[in-house]
């Protein structure tokens, strides 16, 4: 009886030592797929003639960090293994900062300041059409000597074909959508600034 108890105790001790190793093997098995993260790539085109600052963007697209695909019959699917580096709203704010804000000195606005924000309504991939789709409603609030003097809005939808069958090609297509959207909002800022300078 003592020998059996001793053997049983030894077996339990060995199992306790092997359990972390076995669980590690499960986590590192060939069936485990490491999620891949992607960032947007948008060329910089600084806007030096307009004094503006960014406010927050809202994300109402249904997309989080996971790639969001639109299927037939308006069914939506999220890809757990292909992810964005940040959520769409934070990526848009970050990319706008990188693309439009100059490192060098820019216009002081002569007392005029534009505040740019927006709401993201679509940030997805249409699987049937093989298109990246982005819809953003940009808003501008106009301030003269810190006093609110007006506002404007611009809704921009951009689409780009997905050239390939990989998540990287889908991310590249979305980068193209964002670049086109930024070109539109850059023109919007310039035109709004010109009109506000005339009427202030």
Predicted TM-score (pTM) of the model is 0.81
One domain, residues 90 and 146: yes
CATH number of 173's domain: 3.40.50.10610
| 86 and 159 belong to one structural domain | yes
What is the model's pLDDT at position 12? 45
pLDDT in tens, 39-71: 999 999 999 889 999 999 999 999 999 999 999
* Residues linked to residue 36 through DSSP beta bridges, in sequence order: 82
**Per-residue model confidence as pLDDT tens digits over 135-182:** 999 999 999 988 999 999 999 999 999 999 999 999 999 999 999 999
Average pLDDT, the chain: 86
Q: How do residues 113-123 score in pLDDT, each as one tens digit?
A: 999 999 999 99
Cα dihedral 80, 86, 90, 95 sign = negative
Assess whether pLDDT exceeds 80 at residue 32.
no
Whether the predicted pLDDT of 23 surpasses 80 = no
**Number of separate domains in the chain:** 2
Q: How confident is the model at residue 30 (pLDDT cuts 50, 70, 90)?
A: low
Domain identity same for 124 and 156: yes
Answer yes or no: do 161 and 91 share one domain.
Answer: yes
By residue range, what is the domain housing residue 90? Answer: 37-199
One domain for residues 124 and 182: yes
Burial class (CB in 10 A: 0-12, 13-18, 19+), 40: buried
The confidence score (pLDDT) of residue 67 equals 98
Strands 112-126 and 131-144: antiparallel
Assess whether 41 and 81 both reside in one domain.
yes
**97 and 10 together in one domain:** no
């Amino acid at each position: 009886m003592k020998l059996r108890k001793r053997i049983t105790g030894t077996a339990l001790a060995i199992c306790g030592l092997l359990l972390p190793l076995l669980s590690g093997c499960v986590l590192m098995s060939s069936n485990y797929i490491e999620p891949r993260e992607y960032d947007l790539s948008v060329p910089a085109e600084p806007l030096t003639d307009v004094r503006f600052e960014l406010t927050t963007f809202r994300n109402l697209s249904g997309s989080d960090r996971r790639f969001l695909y639109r299927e037939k019959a308006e069914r939506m699917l999220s890809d757990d293994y292909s992810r964005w580096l940040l959520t769409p709203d934070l990526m848009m704010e970050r990319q706008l900062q990188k693309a439009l804000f100059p490192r060098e000195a820019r216009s002081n606005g002569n007392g005029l300041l534009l505040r740019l924000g927006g709401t993201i309504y679509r940030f997805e991939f249409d699987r049937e059409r093989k298109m990246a789709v982005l819809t953003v409603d940009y808003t501008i609030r106009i301030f003269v000597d810190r006093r609110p003097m007006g506002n404007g809005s611009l809704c921009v939808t951009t689409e780009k074909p997905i050239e390939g069958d990989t998540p990287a090609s889908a991310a590249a297509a979305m980068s193209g959508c964002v670049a086109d959207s930024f070109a539109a909002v850059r023109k919007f800022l310039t035109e709004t600034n010109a009109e506000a300078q005339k009427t202030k």
